[in-house]
Structure 1
C-alpha cells in the first residue's frame, strides 16, 4: 500500500486532471507513479515536460532506456525498473540479455557501446558526475560525444524525480507492469 494517495482522474486536484486523462488515453491505464505525482500538479507537469524533452535528446531510444534502467536500479526503484523493462523489451524489442545485464548492473557482453553507456551512467550517479579524464575518454572512444554526456545527466535527472517519488511513496507496481518486476 502506498504511503501517498494514488489519484484517479476523479480524485486528482483539478490542475492534474487533464494530465491524468491524457495518460489514461495514451496507455490504457494510469501508472501508479502518475497517480502519486498528481498530488503535486507541478511535479506531474515537470515529469511530463522533461520526459518529452528527454524523449528527443541525442541518445537513441535504446540508449535512453539504458540510462533509465541503470538509474532505477541504482536508486532502488522497483517500479521504474519494471516500467522501463517493459518499454525496453516490449516496445523497443531490446535483447533480453541486455536488459537482464542492466537490471543486475553487470557487463553487457553483446554490446560494448551500450555497456560503456551503462557504466558511464553508473559513474555519473555514484561519483556525482565528477568523472576522471579516463572515464570521459572511454565514453568518447565508444562513439559518444559531449552532447550525449549531458543528455545522460538529463536522463538521470528525470529518473531521479520518478525514482525518489516512488521510493518515498512506496508506490505499488501496477498489475500491467508486474510481469516485468
Structure 2
C-alpha cells in the first residue's frame, strides 16, 4: 500500500492534472511514480523536465538506462528497477545479459564501457560525488569525457528524485511493469 496519495487524472492537484493526463494518454496507463509525484506539481514538473534534458545529454539511450538501473538497484527502488528494465529490454532491445548484470550487480562481461559506467555511477552515489582521482581516471579511460561525467551526475540526480520518492511512498509496481520487477 502506497504511503503517499496515488493520484489519477481526477484526483491530481489542478497544477498537476494536465501533466498526469498527458502521461496517461502517452502510455495508456499512469505509472504509479507519476501518481505519487503529482502530490507536488513542482516535483512532477522537475521529473519531467529533467527527464527531457537527460534524454538529450551526451550519453546514448542505452548508457542512460545503465545509470538508471544501476542507481535503482543500488538505492533499492523496486519500482524504478521495473520501469527501467522495461525500457532497456522492450524499447531499446538491450542485451539480456547486460540488463541482468545491472540488476544483479555483477560484472558486465560483454561490454567494458557499460561496466565502467555502472561502476562510476555506484561510486558517485556511495561517495556523494567525492570520487578519487583514480576512479575518475578509470571512468575517462573507458572512453568517457568531462561532459559525460556531468551527464552521469545529472542521471544520478534524476534517479535520486525518483528512487527516494518511490521509497518514501512505498510505491507499488503497476501491473503493466510487474513482469520487469526485481523478483521476476
Specify the TM-score bucket, using the shorter chain as the normaliser. over 0.9
* Alignment of 1:108 onto 2:89: no
Does residue 12 (structure 1) correspond to residue 12 (structure 2)? The answer is yes
Matches within 5 A, 1:1-181: 1-181=1-181
Deviation at 1:130, TM superposition (A): 1.0
What SS is found at the alignment partner of 1:9?
A: coil
Please provide the CA RMSD for this pair: 0.6
The total of aligned residue pairs comes to 181
| Unaligned runs of at least 5 residues, structure 1 | none
CA distance in 2 between partners of 1:158 and 1:85 (Å): 16
How much does 1:137 deviate?
1.2
Deviations 1:69-104 (A, max 9, x none): 011011110000000000000000000110010011
SS class of match (1:120)? helix
| Per-residue Cα deviation, 1:130-156 (whole angstroms, up to 9, x for no partner) | 111111111111110010011001000
1:28: how far off?
1.1
Normalising by the residue count of structure 1, what TM-score does the alignment of the two structures yield?
0.99
Aligned-partner SS, 1:12: coil
Separation of aligned partners in 1, 2:125 and 2:40 = 26
Structure 2 gap ranges (5+):
none
CA distance in 1 between counterparts of 2:63 and 2:95 reads: 13
4+ residue runs over 3 A deviation: none
